[in-house]
Structure 1
Amino acid sequence: MKVLTDNKLDYEIIWKKIHSDIFSKYILKLNESKIRYFILRNFETLPDKNTSKDVDIIIEPKSYKEAFTILLDVLKEYKISNYRVVKYERVHCCFGISIEKNFSIHIDLIEGYLSKGFEVFSFDMLYEQTIEYKNFKVLNETYDAIMLLYYKVIGTKQLKQQYQDKINFTYKIYNKEINKVLAATLGNKMSRLIIKALSNQDFATIIKNANVLSKVSKQRVLIRKPFKTTNRIVQFLCEKIYRILYCPRKYQNFISVQGADGTGKSTFIDGLVKAIAFYNVSEESKSHIYHHRPKLLPNLGAAGEKAGVMKEDTDFTNPHRAKPAGFISSFIRMTYYWLDYVIGVPIKLRKDVQFDRFTIYDRYIYDFLVDPYRSRINLPYWLRKLFTKLVIQPRIVFVLLTDAETIYKRKQELTIDEINRQLGEFKKLAETNKRFVIIDASKKPEEIVEDAMKILIDKFTLQIK
């Protein structure tokens, strides 16, 4: 929900009636379809409230296409306009988004419990341990605690206090049943360690041994089902190589924000980060902000000072304080910074793609076209433009523009003539490149963030038809 406080737009993720209605309708449709499924953890307050940001639904393997089609039909029924799906192995993270309704919902459709190709618990085994809860299926108390232990400790190497309390409470009642499952999946030696820790409520030992727990359980799966497990491991690795190493453009949530000093880039980016988190039902860490360059290579001034050949100039109040360098020196400087983009951007992008983060550059290589003197570069425009073309391009470049007088009132680092010159250069860039989008920076911050989010949703999501 978007809330206006102190003339700023705050985005608060709240499970509202429309979320409850969509979830309830989806469960009803799943029940009618006869697709086997169950809700994994944090189900106690559903459908009226959700103590988590998302809902995890384990579905029968190979039923995703039908389950997802039903979900889209329900979203369409409630006039949700857009959707987005992010896939990790058998996990399909599905987002329903509507900027008109100030709405976002996150439902994970998970085709069985699989971790990096290893299936410790088959779907059929887990489904046999389900019970009816309200009008949907959930795991019984024994297996709910076991899956919390495996899913969180093996998957995330941590266990929140609320999960520790739940496991501890369940273990006191069903310790014999839980011990039996631990022995079957971990073997005698490792299961004894975990059983002792559970008996003593020593979750620190369990978390400390998370890697060993993961290794032992996976080894036993490989021994039990060598061919099927090997095939799944290969599929997992191929998918990971394709997503992260090859890193196709469709996975890159890559944005740049350009504008003269004083147009409000920092305020705009702060608001954009909050909006991205809201519409992706996530934290603000969903976005990763970089300033101008990847900075895999240090500033030349810092490198020179470290080498003892010069003192770094750290006075940033006057961007044009230093004289431009000569042609050869400028070419070396431009090549050095260009290499930072060529090497650094793919590395940073791959890391962000791995976690489905938004990559946001507060200024990008285009600054060398518009304001080369900031970096003491004195090269022909065509040569600087060639350098900018030989790097990975953002999918969207937001250009913040307003009149020079307004910018000068906000920040007096540049003259009005220089601001007007830069505004002209930014306009020229925007008119000749379709990935550039002009944003009216004279509007209120919350308005320009909303304008930008409409463009992002249109670019990075699909319409529900």
Structure 2
Amino acid sequence: MIQKNILSHLLLGYFQLLERHSIAYCVIGNYEKLPEYTSNDVDFWVSDKEKAEKLLLSLAKELTIKLYMQNKTANGTNNYFYYKHEEGNCQIIKIDLMTETAYKSLVPLVSSTLIQNNRKKYKNFYVVNEEIEAIMHLFYPLVTFGIVKNKYREKLQKIIKNQTFKTEVIGLMGTAYGDELIDYIRVGEWEKIEKDFKKIRGKFIVRMLKNLNVKRLGIFMIFLKTIFTRIKNKNGLSISFTGIDGAGKTSIKKYFVENSSLFFTSGRVKEFYWRPFLLPRVSKMIGSQGQKEILDTSGRRVIEKSIKNSVKNYIKYFYYILDFVFGKLKYFVVTHTGGLVVFDRYHFDNIIYPERFGFKVNKVFMRFVDKWIIPQPDLLFYLTANTETLYERKYEIDIDEINKQKEIYKDEIEKRGKIITVQTDGDFKTSVSDILEQCLFYMSQRIKDNG
């Protein structure tokens, strides 16, 4: 839930600014409880996206609401803001600006003119009328994802009696298929509609090509520019968690993966353990399957010393280096389209305890590789807690071994730097909140630094 007064101040101020600057606008969907509350993002249609965006960012700055991520598309922008709640945790506000409803921001589904001509006043701001909103709710998820969302089905069946809705659907789909589609909606043949999604998508693409003009070519050029910008500039985030067993890495990673859509682009998330695994497991490459694991008295894995093992260790390590370097291909798109990538352990853990991963090489050499060769996550978090807490969580590791590992981490962190320490002694919610704030602050500074 978004704190009422902050959201209300932002939206009421924004409505006034848009009207003062003669920018036509309307809110699309989920507006019933606005401006005080929304459970989701706030979608705006605007007649001038450049001016509307500048006004939004300027107002947010005045209210000390920080922009931490922005996805630019051919038909608008997705703007992600955060602020510190009075209770100390971070609250998110998402505001999307668009000039039309479009597939992949390029192929128009509901035109700007149709939206502008079908607005109405609700409370003290403009919203799109029910018929046009229903057309958006029908075609956008259908053309984009091949589905008719369950939450819209009942509304669609009620609104098919409306002549405006019928006329617009037939105008978009043609008389023959338009009538057929309306009949499908009337009797609830949702599977048949979803089965036809490629056919429907094709009709919109053909419609765009038939009406191709200079303006649409300009939008296509903007589309290409946004792709280039995303390739060049990362707007998502990659993070990794390191620390002694029992510090909470797995639980915290799970939280961020499962809740990534609250803070990042929906559906853009990847998780890894240790390395990207673009390359297969080394055991399959050098035939070490079935190799017996040797443990010392504290339960730590031991690598036997021999010339043969030393050669194998360096072969393994160089293999892992290749995977870290080229493994970025597995998550490049995610981090450059507003998504989240989470590693449970990363290359830094090789320096701490290489035996865990089945090899052992010179630590000075690994530090050099870590600094100059390995692609680093944007943020590396070291999770820790007091020794007694760690022992209670992972009693398999004795207290002396925990203290020994903590000293190793302390020493390596001092050598490396740029690692954020998070104490997880307290409740889980506090640990997550501390990490989230660090992530959002980093991203907001990156936007500020990039201008």
TM-score, normalisation: structure 1: 0.82
Q: Is the 8 A contact 2:109 2:139 kept in 1?
A: no
Of 23, 28, 41, the match for 2:11:
23
Residue 265 of structure 1: aligned partner: 249
Residue 151 of structure 2: aligned partner: 162
Counterpart-to-counterpart distance in 2, 1:275 and 1:155: 22
Alpha carbons of 1:73 and 1:348: their partners in 2 closer, same or farther (altered >3 Å)? Answer: closer
Q: CA deviation at 1:230?
A: 4.2
Alpha carbons of 1:331 and 1:83: their partners in 2 closer, same or farther (altered >3 Å)? Answer: closer
Counterpart-to-counterpart distance in 1, 2:334 and 2:62: 37
Q: Is the 8 A contact 1:349 1:359 kept in 2?
A: no
Alpha carbons of 1:252 and 1:424: their partners in 2 closer, same or farther (altered >3 Å)? Answer: farther
Counterpart-to-counterpart distance in 1, 2:255 and 2:162: 48
Residue 82 of structure 2: aligned partner: 97
Counterpart-to-counterpart distance in 2, 1:100 and 1:310: 52
Q: Is the 8 A contact 1:304 1:310 kept in 2?
A: no
Of 279, 292, 295, the match for 1:297:
279
Q: Is the 8 A contact 2:264 2:340 kept in 1?
A: no
Residue 311 of structure 1: aligned partner: 290
Q: Is the 8 A contact 1:39 1:57 kept in 2?
A: yes
What amino acid is aligned across from residue 69 of structure 2 in structure 1? R
> What pairs up with 1:1-400 in 2 under 5 angstroms?
13=1, 16=4, 18-50=6-38, 52-60=39-47, 63-76=48-61, 78-81=63-66, 83-101=68-86, 102=89, 103-116=91-104, 117-174=106-163, 177-243=164-230, 246=231, 248=233, 250-270=234-254, 280=263, 287-301=269-283, 303=284, 310-311=289-290, 318-320=299-301, 323=304, 326-354=309-337, 356-388=338-370, 389-400=372-383
Q: What is the aligned length?
A: 439
**CA offsets, 1:422-452, max 9 Å, x none?**
4344334433445322223444443333332
Alpha carbons of 1:226 and 1:67: their partners in 2 closer, same or farther (altered >3 Å)? Answer: closer
Alpha carbons of 1:38 and 1:327: their partners in 2 closer, same or farther (altered >3 Å)? Answer: same
**CA offsets, 1:285-333, max 9 Å, x none?**
66533211222334334x279x7x7337699994516546722100111
Q: CA deviation at 1:259?
A: 1.0
Counterpart-to-counterpart distance in 1, 2:168 and 2:406: 67
Q: CA deviation at 1:367?
A: 1.3
Q: Is the 8 A contact 2:28 2:43 kept in 1?
A: yes
Q: CA deviation at 1:228?
A: 4.1
Q: CA deviation at 1:87?
A: 2.3
Q: Is the 8 A contact 1:304 1:312 kept in 2?
A: no
Q: CA deviation at 1:416?
A: 5.1
What amino acid is aligned across from residue 367 of structure 1 in structure 2? D
Counterpart-to-counterpart distance in 1, 2:442 and 2:8: 28
Counterpart-to-counterpart distance in 2, 1:270 and 1:394: 18
Alpha carbons of 1:58 and 1:313: their partners in 2 closer, same or farther (altered >3 Å)? Answer: farther
Counterpart-to-counterpart distance in 2, 1:36 and 1:194: 32
Q: Is the 8 A contact 1:82 1:98 kept in 2?
A: no
Q: CA deviation at 1:220?
A: 1.5
Q: CA deviation at 1:397?
A: 0.7
Moved more, 322-331 or 390-399: 322-331
Q: Is the 8 A contact 2:294 2:303 kept in 1?
A: no
List gaps (5 residues or longer) in structure 2: none
Q: Is the 8 A contact 1:106 1:281 kept in 2?
A: no
Counterpart-to-counterpart distance in 2, 1:114 and 1:214: 11
Q: CA deviation at 1:120?
A: 4.1
Q: Is the 8 A contact 2:236 2:264 kept in 1?
A: no
Q: CA deviation at 1:460?
A: 0.8
What amino acid is aligned across from residue 269 of structure 1 in structure 2? K
**CA offsets, 1:90-137, max 9 Å, x none?**
231222311243432211111333333223443123201222222222
**CA offsets, 1:205-256, max 9 Å, x none?**
222211211111111111211554344334324422542xx353x3240111
Counterpart-to-counterpart distance in 1, 2:305 and 2:180: 67
What amino acid is aligned across from residue 310 of structure 1 in structure 2? Q
Q: Is the 8 A contact 1:271 1:445 kept in 2?
A: no
Alpha carbons of 1:420 and 1:226: their partners in 2 closer, same or farther (altered >3 Å)? Answer: same
Counterpart-to-counterpart distance in 2, 1:255 and 1:315: 32
User: RMSD over aligned Cα, in angstroms?
Assistant: 3.4
Secondary structure class of the residue paired with 2:170:
helix
Alpha carbons of 1:122 and 1:313: their partners in 2 closer, same or farther (altered >3 Å)? Answer: farther
Query: Identity over aligned residues, as a percent?
Result: 24
